[in-house]
Amino acid sequence: MRLGNHIRRLRFEHDEMSQQDLADAVGVTRQTIFSIEKGKFVPSALLAFKIARFFDKSVEEVFYIIDDQ
Amino acid sequence: MSSMSRRHSAVLAAALLSACCLIFILFQVNANLVEAINICRTAFGLLDWSIGLAHLYVLCFHIFAILFLLSRRIVNERLKTFNSVLLVFALLSLFAMGVEKVMVDEVAREYRLGSDISELDILNLAYLFNLAFAALLCYFVLKIKKTGAGKSGRDSALDERIFIVAQYMGLVSGLLGLLLTFDLIGKEMAASRLWIYIPFYLLCTIPYMLAVLYWLSLKLRQRIAEWYDEKQFQDILKSSLSTLLLSVPGLAIAVFAGISSALYMFLYYLFLVLLLFSGGTLYFFKLRDID
């Protein structure tokens, strides 16, 4: 079971925002945003909520579960 | 005058003063060798104190310059490359100061023995290298003052850069320390005489210490909970566990290699752990996520 996300799409929908800008907005490093988008790092609940709130979305609209088949 | 402009002016002044100190040292060493490096080992006079203080100032200037170069966030691509090259130059120039110390001792020894003092050329080259660095830094500061391209990046981008730089410096320091230790073991240097090599070990750790000290100077203004983001915390934890596990076979290698002296074992373990931890942190933080 893995965590997928729509962060990259949402960034581009927000005036093609860079990973660095999103990182600055939610208080993490750019590498963390990069790793989350790639699915290499699972954010904490707090960070997930921060990212969702930044995009004015619910957490379920930003993140989703990928069932391993 | 903005704070950034004041900072640039301070760096410029420091570089010019360093250049003056180096010119003074060069003149004294070449025109007045016996007294300049106290070959006859007389009591310290005004000249000795002047040259000693000049050396100390140049050393502090190098540390200050490295921290300044690490803190720059340059937008202009050409100046960014120049910044990186200058940073490497700064580290080499700092290393040259260690060479100067060794050469001064060698020149004094050779002079007393009445031998040829060809090491004086190497000493002069080292000082000229320091002078070249000071001149290049002046040019660089004037360039960024002119273009307005150098911001002090006090944000997460700077934190991330410093964090990564510290790990690379840890790799460099760990490797240098291990190489020096193996070299001394190979030369069968008695552990009781290792104290002579303390300055060289300090030189090996300077890259890492500088990066960590600079990182600390930024972080001391923040709460400890904010020092790392959650991914960095996780990566450091993974790196710590990896270091613990890998240090066991590392120590076993030392035992099988026949390192029996406790002091050598301590130095070997210290730099091995530094190498493993920095490498592990770098791997987990940055390299593992690259496809």
- Domain extents in chain B: 1-152, 154-291
List, in sequence order, every residue forming a beta bridge with A64; answer none if it has no partner. A4
Dihedral sign, Cα of residue B111, residue B116, residue B119, residue B123: positive
Q: Measured between beta carbons, which residues in chain A are less than 8 angstroms from residue B156?
A: 20, 23-24, 27-30
Q: Is A18 on the interface with B (CB under 8 A)?
A: no
Residue B149 has pLDDT above 60, yes or no: no
Q: What is the pLDDT of residue B233?
A: 92
Radius of gyration of chain B (CA): 22
If you average pLDDT over residues B276-284, what whole number do you get? 94
Confidence bin at B220 (pLDDT 50/70/90): confident
Please state whether the predicted TM-score (pTM) of the whole model is above 0.80: no
- B4-13, B70-79, B112-121, B135-144: segment of lowest average pLDDT: B70-79
The answer to whether residue A29 scores a pLDDT higher than 50 is: yes
pLDDT band at B115 (very low <50, low <70, confident <90, very high): confident
Q: What is the DSSP string of B168-207?
A: HHHHHHHHHHHHHHHHHHHTT--GGGGGGGHHHHHHHHHH
Q: A24 vs B157: CB contact, 8 Å cut-off?
A: yes
Facing residue for A31 by CB, picked from B155, B226, B286:
B286
| Confidence at B40, pLDDT banded by 50, 70, 90 | low
Q: Chain B residue with minimal CA distance to A34?
A: B289
Closest CA to B175 of B208, B199, B210, B198: B208
Residue B99 has pLDDT above 50, yes or no: yes
What's residue A54's pLDDT?
93
Q: Which of B227, B166, B210 is nearest to B67 (CA)?
A: B210
Q: What are the sequence ranges of the domains in chain A? A: 2-66
Which residues from B are below 8 Å from A43, CB to CB? 230
- Beta carbons of A30 and B156 less than 8 Å apart: yes
The bridge status of strand A63-66 relative to strand B150-152 is: unpaired
Say yes or no: A23 contacts chain B, CB-CB below 8 A.
yes
Phi and psi of B239, rounded to 5°? -65, -40
Tell me how far apart the alpha carbons of residues B69 and B67 are, in angstroms, rounded to a whole number: 5
Shortest alpha-carbon distance between residue B152 and chain A (Å): 16
Reported as a single tens digit per residue, the pLDDT across B186-215 is: 877 776 777 778 778 887 887 788 788 878
Q: Which CATH class is domain A2-66?
A: mainly alpha
What are the residues of chain B with a beta carbon less than 8 Å away from any beta carbon of chain A? Answer: 155-157, 159-160, 163, 226, 229-232, 234, 285-286, 288-289, 291
Residue of B270, B284, B281, B68 lying closest to B173 (CA atoms): B270
Contact predicate A32/B290, CB 8 Å: no
pLDDT at B148 (0 to 100)? 60
> What's the pLDDT at B153?
45
Q: Which of A32, A49, A50 to mutate to probe the B interface, most B CBs <10 Å?
A: A32
**pLDDT mean over A15-37:** 91
Q: Using the Cα atoms of residue B82, residue B87, residue B92 and residue B96 in order, give the sign of their dihedral.
A: positive
* CA–CA–CA angle B215, B95, B171 (5° rounding): 50
Average pLDDT over residues B251-272: 87
pLDDT at B131 over 60: yes
Residue A23 has pLDDT above 80, yes or no: yes
**Are A30 and B229 in contact (CB < 8 Å)?**
no
- End-to-end, the C-alpha distance of chain B in Å comes to 47
Average pLDDT value for residue range B42-66: 82
The amino acid sitting at B205 is T
